[in-house]
């Protein structure tokens, strides 16, 4: 079955552009939980 997970993580400030980030980073992951997963970095 295809699963969809939604994550929100704290972000860091952008030092180069001198931007303070207050919003969280959002990530959406979809995968088939019946198949073996392979980590790709």
The string of pLDDT tens digits covering residues 5-15 is 999 999 999 99
State the pLDDT at residue 7. 94
Distance between CA 8 and CA 18 in Å, rounded?
22
Q: What is the CA radius of gyration of the chain?
A: 15
In the prediction, which pLDDT does 26 show?
93
Contact 6, 19 (CB under 8 A): no
Q: What are the CB-based long-range contacts (under 8 Å, 24+) for 32-36?
A: 32/1, 32/2, 32/3, 33/1, 33/2, 33/3, 34/1
Give the tens place of pLDDT for each residue, 18-39: 999 889 999 998 988 888 877 7
């Amino acid at each position: 079955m295809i699963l969809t997970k939604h994550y929100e993580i704290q972000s860091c400030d952008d030092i180069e552009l001198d931007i303070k980030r207050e919003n969280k980073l959002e990530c959406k992951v979809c995968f088939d939980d019946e198949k073996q997963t392979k980590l790709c970095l």
